[in-house]
Amino acid sequence: MNKIAYIFASAALLALGACTSKQAEETGSEQPVAAEASSEIVAPVAEGGKVIELTDSKDYAPGVKVSQLTVLDFNAVWCGPCRQLTPVLEELAAKYDGKVTFVSVDVDKYGDLFEAYNLGTSIPAVLFLYPDGSKKSYIGTGDLLPADKFEALIDAALAK
């Protein structure tokens, strides 16, 4: 019940917060939400073809600079579709080692980051962060499963 209450509370906070236009989301012109987030902060890069488990929301706060394509997977242990996506992320992290950083973000621990990106109220939510500051989001698994659909999105993002 607490998790459901958390989701509804998150939705209410999002409704009260500033809305970001679709164009700003796609062009990366959104202003950082957190005061400490700035373009001078550089996000960590994954090594060894593994999915990074987020340990500090400041590492990937809005406005953070990434040196390579970074995929943030917003999920929760109680979410069935999130569990379906996990092995795909692990497979892709190994395949794109050195080219793409994959980060798992537990919304029960880092709901503030989920809210900061204005991703709505549904998970899984996957956010691509590009080195040029732009971003693209995918809500649910429709665009990401089966794995070849997700892989095609990554290939297209790398070609950008």
Round to whole Å and give the CA distance between 113 and 144.
Answer: 21
Separation between Cα atoms, residue 10 and residue 72, nearest integer Å: 18
Options 33, 43, 79, 123, the catalytic residue: 79
79 is catalytic: yes
In this structure, what is the dihedral angle of CA atoms 112, 116, 117, 123, given to the nearest 10 degrees?
30
Residues contacting 138, CB < 8 A, separation 6+: 125, 126, 127, 128, 144, 153
Task: Identify the DSSP state of 128.
Answer: E
Instruction: Pick the catalytic residue from 33, 54, 82, 103.
Output: 82
Q: State whether residue 141 is helix, strand or coil.
A: coil
Q: Which residues contact 59 (CB under 8 A, 6 or more apart)?
A: 43, 44
Give catalytic status of residue 19 as yes or no.
no
Give first-to-last CA distance, the chain, whole Å.
Answer: 42
Residues recognised as catalytic: 79, 82
